[in-house]
Amino acid sequence: MSSQAEGHSLHISQQFNVELEEVKGHMMEMGGVVEKQLADALESVVTSNSNLGLKVSRDDDEIDSLEMQIDEECSLIIARRQPAASDLRLVLAIIKTIRDLERIGDESSKIAKMAVKLSEEGEIPSLFVEFKNIGAKVQRMVSMSLNAFARFDAEAALEITKADLEVDMEYRSAMSSMITYMTEDPRSITRVLNILWALRALERIGDHAKNIAEHVVYLVQGKDVRHEKLE
């Protein structure tokens, strides 16, 4: 879908066009910051890099500030322009998306904190395989959801909602494996629990990426797919 096809770029006021493009651009910039934070959080766990983990947890304030800035921009657009139809859907989709991006940042910070604990208590390399695999898939979901928003691509967005089902399945499988590991080696319980918490945060990030994809579908098609069952 092109923005022109839905009227996002066909306004009498050129300034309105500029405002819509700017706020969308700021949302995408926030998405880039969130993607970097997630990548650093994953690296901090896999490499047991406590310094990187501490940095990621501190950088969460930047994401919070971006959310407040973009939210204010959207509020001003609604107050001044009183957008309708597809323009209103765009502004609302941006507001919802920055909420999910902020929560992805929160979950990334939780993962980074687990990296600090793992560096202190000792790592379990054999369990990092599943963590890395799920982490890579969740990273891809976040990236795809932002790309789908940038292109107004509802079809790509629907693929992301299906990918979330795969992540959920792998998460349940990893949980089962780690419970077995703790049962066989009770001395590992604390360390394995830290990995489990990090995995739980990854699973939630996947949910937020799926939410962003659903916002894209609503933006493009005006259709709420949040509670639909996908094959």
**pTM (two decimals):** 0.88
Greatest CA span in the chain, whole angstroms?
69
pLDDT value of position 227:
61
Numbers of helices and strands, H then E, in the chain: 7, 0
| The dihedral sign for the CA sequence 43, 48, 52, 53 | positive
Phi first, then psi: what are they for 198, rounded to 5°?
-65, -40
pLDDT value of position 1:
40
Domain coordinates of the chain in residue numbers? Answer: 4-221
DSSP secondary structure letter of residue 228: P
pLDDT value of position 11:
53
- Using CA atoms, how far residue 165 sits from 28, 199, 208, in Å, is 25, 15, 13
Q: Are residues 144 and 160 in contact, defined by beta-carbon separation less than 8 angstroms?
A: yes
- Using CA atoms, how far residue 50 sits from 132, 161, 165, in Å, is 17, 33, 31
pLDDT value of position 124:
65
CATH number of 4-221: 1.20.58.220
**How does pLDDT run along the chain (231 residues), one tens digit per residue?**
444 444 454 555 678 888 999 999 999 999 999 999 999 999 998 888 889 988 898 878 899 999 999 999 999 999 988 888 889 999 999 999 999 999 999 999 999 988 888 877 766 666 778 899 999 999 999 999 999 999 999 999 999 988 999 999 999 999 998 899 889 888 888 888 888 999 999 999 999 999 999 999 999 988 877 666 554
Q: Are residues 63 and 27 in contact, defined by beta-carbon separation less than 8 angstroms?
A: no
Per the document, the length of the chain is 231
